[in-house]
Structure 1
């Protein structure tokens, strides 16, 4: 009987360690991405009249940072599919925006839209693979759906001026940033819950 309890405690501790490590690798990346998105939105709202070239470089730098954060998070969490796809897309489009000096406003909107659609689809797919019992599943699906819808607007609404582009990106970034920050707090609370369960099982 004692052996069974010890084995059960060992299994619980191992599971707790794996889940806790995964959550610990994810929540901070989600939070940082949310903060970066809100920061980008503020820049778009405060300086909507900036030239398109400056805004393209700003967004390119944002995509690069997002991609680096995604790679680190994917490596630490052990995930090999969805996070790496998101990171690769961010890095690729970030490099295109930074290195392609003659990109037009129309192409810029399409690239941003493609990034949003792919990121949203990747999040939605990740949520689809989650267990139906996971509390964060619905929220991740909502974030993925919102990103995809905003991305489609960008892809099909390309005939607009610099100020309108700035406001569109600012609005989209603010919505996504707030949702990501909220998701990060939920995941962080879940990690604390898992840690407490693991401690009581030990």
Structure 2
């Protein structure tokens, strides 16, 4: 899995940049409607899911995490784009389920890689950020659309920054391994 992530570090950074852009747009338009939020979330999760699928396709034995995360992201994105009129509660459930699964997946990947890479806590931290968002959305679903937008924007910014830092670390690891040989 480490070799896969190091080879595709650009996709990790791309996922981070898309998350940061999503967060900035959500903060810039706080009066955004639920319909626009559904479309924005749909576009974001669709792009994130495709990026995760691309990362999961290829050689390696630990692709299942990324493929599962990608499939769930694409599914959540398509649902939000096809049915943008869904209620806030339904959107919250979709976002929460996706966030909980994504968080657990990333934490599990960090645990599996803890003896293989240094600073695996970046991957674990990104998982914790996503997991916390999912749990908060399940526990307090009726806080309102503006609170939802703020929480999702804060999550997207934090997660995006963590993914960008992780991607840069993976890039450095990939360059180091190119001179030293295979990562695993």
1:49-85 deviations in whole A, cap 9, x for unaligned?
Answer: 0111011011101111111111111113534310001
- Residue 60 of structure 2 is aligned to residue 60 of structure 1: no
Contact 1:22/1:76, CA 8 A, preserved across alignment: no
**Aligned counterparts of 1:119 and 1:86: Cα–Cα separation in 2:** 6
* Residue ranges of structure 2 left out of the alignment (5+ in a row): none
| TM-score, length basis structure 1 | 0.83
**Aligned counterparts of 2:19 and 2:3: Cα–Cα separation in 1:** 26
- What is the aligned partner in structure 1 of residue 109 from structure 2? 126
Q: How does 1:98-117 map to 2 (within 5 A)?
A: 98-117=81-100
**Aligned counterparts of 1:120 and 1:197: Cα–Cα separation in 2:** 32
**Aligned counterparts of 2:145 and 2:134: Cα–Cα separation in 1:** 17
- What is the aligned partner in structure 2 of residue 38 from structure 1? 20
- What is the aligned partner in structure 1 of residue 177 from structure 2? 194
- What is the aligned partner in structure 2 of residue 150 from structure 1? 133
Residues 22 and 104 of structure 1, relative CA distance in 2, 3 Å threshold: closer
Contact 2:5/2:170, CA 8 A, preserved across alignment: no
| TM-score, length basis structure 2 | 0.90
| RMSD after superposition | 2.0
Contact 1:110/1:154, CA 8 A, preserved across alignment: yes
Q: How does 1:75-86 map to 2 (within 5 A)?
A: 75-78=57-60, 79-86=62-69
Cα offset for 1:19?
6.8
**Aligned counterparts of 1:103 and 1:166: Cα–Cα separation in 2:** 16
- What is the aligned partner in structure 2 of residue 74 from structure 1? 56
- The size of the alignment, in residue pairs, is 181
User: If you compute each CA radius of gyration, which structure gives the higher value, 1 or 2?
Assistant: 1
**Aligned counterparts of 1:137 and 1:21: Cα–Cα separation in 2:** 15
Contact 2:100/2:130, CA 8 A, preserved across alignment: yes
Greater per-residue helix proportion: 1
Residues 51 and 22 of structure 1, relative CA distance in 2, 3 Å threshold: closer
Q: List structure 1 runs of 4+ shifted beyond 4 angstroms.
A: 18-22
* Residue ranges of structure 1 left out of the alignment (5+ in a row): 1-17
Q: Aligned to 1:169, which of 152, 157, 160?
A: 152
Cα offset for 1:20?
5.6
